[in-house]
Amino acid sequence: MPFFKKLSAYDDRSARLASIALMVLSISMFSFGDAIGKFLVGTYSVGQLLFLRACAALLLLSPMIWRQRHQFLHLERPGLQLFRVVLSTLEVAAFFLATVYLPLADVITYYLAGPIFVTAMSAIFLGEKVGWRRWTAILVGFCGVVIALRPSVQTVSLPALIALGGSLSFATLMLITRSLRKTPDIVMASSQFIGTLSLGAVLSAFHWVPPTPGSLVFFVLAGCISVTALFCVNRSLKLAPASVVVPYQYSMIVWAVIFGFVVFGDVPSIATIIGAAIIIGAGFYIYLRERDLGRASEEVNPPV
């Protein structure tokens, strides 16, 4: 299709703007899924959450997997694909394990260090150009995160270290996904869920609580949300440089405030509101900067 072919162009301005929109959408869905996950691990083990969530996701994906089964025969860079699955599995497990012991907002704080890791690594390992303006905006955004969530006295605890490790895994996962632009989305999505299914099956064998019908609905919902969000983020990372789209991960703070209040009764403080405003401002600046760069590129290289 001409439209999607156009969006696949690496330096196309429309592709970059579409990539940003997909990243924002995926973050909102991931945040909803995170809130559901934290609610469930209050009763069930992390392993059981990983297992049932992955089961629901793979059932949803099964028709696509069957129709596109030929895509699995010749994988791009199999070793890197395996490493990506391992990182994805560890990142998801680390996140939900940390939410057992820490408030959701605290865990998200540590994960929001991811954009800084991604920006640095994308410049070093992928050769992506990151100007000082975007560096400044990213750092300002992270300062907003610190102001808004103010990491608790548990900063150096084991759960906090687990969350930080998950954040680093997430950042590396983003870069690897960016390097595998030729890999079909169905391969990326299904392989990641197979990884969490495998780990969840092993862990849940040691601690299984029969789920209630109501809980099963939440497990299925978590799986469906994660599938949709994963497709959005994978497509986003294929349409634009990681350093452009990943900073929009900062919008998680807004969703953390919303879900924290609605689901867990957490009332945001003045510091949270101020920090959220700084984060949104930094993200909007990056958006405007990217739009201006796209226009400048069109002026230098007008369409033939």
- Both tokens of 163, joined, read 């969350």
- Please determine, for residue 275, whether its predicted confidence score (pLDDT) is greater than 50: yes
Measured CA to CA, the distance from residue 95 to residue 108 in angstroms comes to 9
Q: Give mean pLDDT, residues 224-238.
A: 84
Over residues 176-201, the pLDDT tens digits come to 877 787 888 788 889 989 999 999 99
Higher pLDDT, 159 or 41: 41
Measured CA to CA, the distance from residue 72 to residue 294 in angstroms comes to 35
pLDDT given at position 47: 95
Contact 191, 9 (CB under 8 A): no
Q: What is the pTM of this model?
A: 0.75
Question: Which of the four pLDDT bands, split at 50, 70 and 90, describes residue 2?
Answer: very low
Over residues 71-87, the pLDDT tens digits come to 888 888 888 899 999 99
Tokens 């870069």 correspond to 175
The per-residue pLDDT of the chain, averaged, comes to 80
Tokens 């599938």 correspond to 227
Over residues 111-131, the pLDDT tens digits come to 776 766 777 777 777 677 778
Contact 183, 75 (CB under 8 A): yes
Higher pLDDT, 17 or 242: 17
Over residues 280-294, the pLDDT tens digits come to 787 777 767 766 766
Measured CA to CA, the distance from residue 30 to residue 254 in angstroms comes to 12
269 φ, ψ (degrees, to nearest 5): -85, 170
60 φ, ψ (degrees, to nearest 5): -65, -35
pLDDT given at position 300: 39
Q: Give mean pLDDT, residues 222-241.
A: 85
pLDDT given at position 112: 72
Percent of the chain residues past pLDDT 70, beyond the cut = 84
